[in-house]
Amino acid sequence: MKKILSVLVLLVIFTTGTAFAQNVHPGGLGIGVMWGGHLDDGFTGNEGAALSLKLPNNPFFWGVSVNKGPTIGVQGDRYFFGSKLIPTLGWYLGLGGYGSIYLGDIAALEFGLRAPLGLTFQPIDLLEIFVTLAPSLGISIITGDDGDIDFPHFRWPVEIGIRIWL
């Protein structure tokens, strides 16, 4: 009985939180650029630019990057909680996933879950400026002579970006 009640309470929180989080961002197509790096490595390894994309009628905010190395990465986040602090400034909290592949001297694969927490600033309806901290937990697999599997693999990505809403 306790488990059923707990599931029902979480369901109510997530469904009402989703409605609040959707009010933080405009509807429609959102497209932009973002720059990101990792606090845990002092922004000395995986920083770079990415495409930021939010498709209409799709609850996920996407990021796609190709960085030095070369490293190809993708992330998808869904914001469950959030609200406006003032008419032009809001906050959000969600859950998402990420994956990346490095194809340099060695090959590496990294994937896992992330919990994005961010601020969004909209000085005008079609323009959004955002900053996100997304603590992440995943697994990292490195091939080659020094191959290794790192689990749990903790990361602290930070992203700042701009989106145009159409």
* Most confident among 8-12, 23-27, 78-82 (mean pLDDT): 78-82
Q: In the numeric block, which tokens belong to residue 69?
A: 């190395």
18 pLDDT tier (thresholds 50, 70, 90): very low
Cα(157)–Cα(44) distance, rounded to whole angstroms? 12
**Choice between 154 and 2, residue whose per-residue pLDDT is larger:** 154
Cα(58)–Cα(73) distance, rounded to whole angstroms? 20
Instruction: Kindly state the average pLDDT of the residues 14-31.
Output: 66
pLDDT for res 6:
52
107 backbone φψ class: left, alpha, beta (φ>0; ψ -120 to 50)? beta
82 pLDDT tier (thresholds 50, 70, 90): very high
Q: Which residues pair with 110 in a beta bridge?
A: 100, 140
pLDDT for res 159:
94
Q: Is the dihedral of CA 57, 129, 95, 70 positive or negative?
A: positive
Q: Strand, helix or coil at 134? A: coil
145 pLDDT tier (thresholds 50, 70, 90): confident
Q: In the numeric block, which tokens belong to residue 118?
A: 């961010």
Give residue-wise pLDDT tens across range 84-143. Answer: 999 999 999 999 999 999 888 788 899 999 999 999 999 998 999 999 999 999 999 988
The DSSP-derived string for 112-124 is EEE--EEEEEEEE
Counted domains in the chain: 1
CATH of the domain at 37: 2.40.160.20
12 pLDDT tier (thresholds 50, 70, 90): very low
Give residue-wise pLDDT tens across range 23-53. Answer: 677 788 999 999 988 887 665 556 788 999 9
Q: How far, in whole angstroms, is CA 9 from its chain's centroid?
A: 25
Write the single-letter amino acid at 137.
Answer: L
Range of the domain at 114: 2-165
